[in-house]
Homo-oligomer: A and B are copies of this chain.
Amino acid sequence: MPAAAEISSPEAGNNHMVRSDDPEHPANLIPALCAKFWTLGWVTGTGGGCSIRDDDLVYIAPSGVQKELMKPSDIYVLSLSQNLAQSASLRNRVYLRSPPALKPSQCTPLFLAAFTRRGAGCCIHTHSQWAVLVTLILETRGPGFDREFRVNNLEQIKGFARGPGKAGNLGYHDTLRIPVIENTAHEEDLTEFLEEAMERYPDAYAVLVRRHGVYVWGDNVHKAKTMCESLDYIFQLAVEMKKLGLPWVTEIEPTVPTRGRP
């Protein structure tokens, strides 16, 4: 971890920050994750992305690359504290390492919001079609009724942590609530709405973006990735349920089920 004094300008390269033989190093892990996400349809056509925080260092996939072909040398690196100190809005970012000929991700301020406001260690942004369809289905409910995805009584809900500072995961009968924010013309402009949704939903680990996709974060890569998988599973299930006329929220009495046939 370089001390502040050691921070070099992007021009200097700092290529050592993305060179490691450890497959768990963020610069190796982000390309491996993005390649996997590509096969899941989460980062089609350069959409979506992923960022990992290691203490004060933040590693971010670049904008506009074929995500299944990403290399460690494509990764941006910045210091979280340095950026917080320099810019309240996090818009004028200073990078410790900027790959030549690439552009930083427009998702950067949204990833940083998850790191600073939630202490997340990883944030994943997907363009999953199931996430988009869920927001479109909600949209038909009209303004004011379309800003929250709610589902309950599904085993996969147990895949979500109960909330920051709370022990354990959600239970089967708990209702999973994911806020939905409206999309903006510029991805960076989503930041304030994402942050506001984080405030309104202090236990949420994800925010849906209408007609766009979803942001999912977690304390570490393992938690962010497995919650992102569980959420995508639930979104796909919700779309299929809609096609079959099945409701997303049901009242199931938490009694012991009767045994055998009536």
Contact = CB atoms under 8 A, between A and B. Distances in A.
Interface in A182-203: 182-185, 193, 196, 200
A97 interface: no
Contacts of A181: 257
Contact of A156 (B45, B222, B230): B45
A136 B241 contact: yes
A262 B144 contact: yes
A261 interface: yes
Contact of A159 (B46, B156, B196, B229): B46
A225 interface: yes
Contacts of A46: 159, 226, 230
Contacts of A230: 44-47
A44 B132 contact: no
B237 A129 contact: yes
Contacts of A109: none
B185 A171 contact: yes
Interface stretch (A53-61, A78-86, A116-124, A206-214): A206-214
26 contacts: A44-B156, A44-B230, A45-B156, A45-B227, A45-B228, A45-B230, A45-B233, A46-B230, A47-B159, A47-B230, A127-B155, A127-B156, A129-B233, A129-B237, A132-B155, A133-B240, A133-B241, A136-B244, A137-B244, A137-B246, A143-B262, A172-B185, A181-B257, A184-B257, A196-B260, A243-B244
